[in-house]
Amino acid sequence: MADKRISRVPTAPMLELDLKYEPEYRGEVKQHWNVTFAHQKKISVYGKRIMARVIDQIRDNDYQLRDFYQLHISSILEGTDIEPETAYSKIKGALYELADVKWEFESIEKKEWYFRHLLDTTREQRVGYKDGIITILLNPQLAPYLVKAAHFSKFPLHGYMNLKSWYSMRFFEILAAWQDKGYWEVPVEDYRQYMDCWYEYDKRGQVKKGKTGKALMKYPNTMLLIANTMKEPEKELAGTDFEFTFTPIYETTRPTRGRKKIIRFRFELKKGPVLKDIPASWLENAATGSIIARLREWKVTDANIVKYAPILKQEGALELLKAWELKNRSNRHIDDKLRYCNAAFVRAGKQALEDAKQAKIDAKNEAAEAKLIVQQALNL
């Protein structure tokens, strides 16, 4: 008897998904504030990484989305022990998730509601994967939230792409948005929505209810919510710019007897608020003030000085200044100081951050080895 099951082999030939351009990354994600502070559905970290790499390719001077975005699988797998040859199922699963993601829009009066799919799967060019290349087509109707967004938040990809928990990634995004204040304080109900721990919904978008008729919610107990959503971020963000301390805030009065209820969460960045302006103490100091003046002469912006001078230290800044002076006296004159010197300063700062991070890892490993040697000696 003939097998009448529907074959998954396509009736039309697969379109080419080969690399059409070489992706260029600026190292940060810049997205509409409403996207960062939205009720995002929990997906795999691979889906989050793919979207981060896509948005990272959108430039400030872009006026519309590209027809499609492409990226190497290696840019998604960094920081993992998964080999590109065995990553097919991970990427396939992530693309399945992203194809199902919908952005919902609802009026404040709750009289109007609609949604848009994140990906565009209606065109001839296809969303897919081939020979290590991932191709993504974003829904062009979402362009106002991704291109030329008037009110946006941004976060660096440094330290983000190797996170292993979706909750850690959400903390990273949100804490980066509040970095200028140095803390994030949020009502428990809002926190639940940001972390996809709100009411559970069925396929029709209706709230699921238990046997007693009560609406079902993920981690309904606040202590369960804290334990299951904060433990991983606290561990993974330790030692980064977004390392935080957590404080529960209780209600001040309670109409009935019983333990006071936690109504808000407060997360304090251990490094405090990020500097926006060069501190007066830096300018007044004879050594640092002189270096800052020279950096300004080379058109290095104050924002970059504030961000990278502490990690480069005086020695690193002086080395750069010396290199620029030598280059300017050669036949390779620096014509565009603003562009060239800022790029070099940022590049050196990021490398210094990587070096410091590696040095910390090496020191930790050496301490562990020393402890093991001592223990072995004591056991002799």
Rounded CA Rg of the chain: 25
**Number of residues that this document lists for the chain:** 380
pLDDT at 342 over 80: yes
Half-sphere exposure of 149 toward its Cβ, with a 13 Å CA cutoff? 21
Percentage of the chain with pLDDT > 90?
A: 42
Per-residue pLDDT at 2: 52
Domain ranges in the chain are 17-162, 166-274, 280-379
Per-residue pLDDT at 119: 95
Split at pLDDT 50, 70, 90, the class of 14 is low
Task: Determine the distance from the C-alpha atom of residue 88 to the mean position of all C-alpha atoms in its chain, rounded to a whole number.
Answer: 23
> Matching CATH topology for 17-162 and 166-274?
yes
Per-residue pLDDT at 13: 52
SS3 37: coil
| Distance (Å, whole) CA 373 – CA 241 | 33
When pLDDT is averaged across residues 6-29 and rounded to a whole number, the result is 67
Split at pLDDT 50, 70, 90, the class of 358 is confident
pLDDT at 95 over 80: yes
- Class of domain 17-162 (CATH, top level): mainly alpha
Mean pLDDT over the full length of the chain: 86
| Between residues 62 and 248, the one the model is more confident about | 248
Split at pLDDT 50, 70, 90, the class of 196 is very high
pLDDT at 54 over 90: yes
When pLDDT is averaged across residues 193-214 and rounded to a whole number, the result is 88
Question: Could you say which DSSP state residue 307 is in?
Answer: H
Total-model pTM: 0.71
Per-residue pLDDT at 354: 80
Task: Determine the distance from the C-alpha atom of residue 53 to the mean position of all C-alpha atoms in its chain, rounded to a whole number.
Answer: 10
pLDDT digits (tens, 9 = 90+) for 281-295: 888 888 899 999 999
Contacts with 239 (C-beta within 8 Å, 6 or more apart), sequence order: 360
Other Cβ atoms within 10 Å of 292 Cβ, number: 20
Which one is the CATH code of 166-274: 3.30.470.30, 1.10.1060.10, 3.40.50.800, 1.10.10.10?
1.10.10.10
When pLDDT is averaged across residues 349-377 and rounded to a whole number, the result is 76
Give the relative orientation of helices 166-177 and 222-236 as an angle to the nearest 10 degrees.
80
| Distance (Å, whole) CA 157 – CA 198 | 28
pLDDT at 84 over 80: no
Per-residue pLDDT at 333: 85
Per-residue pLDDT at 213: 87
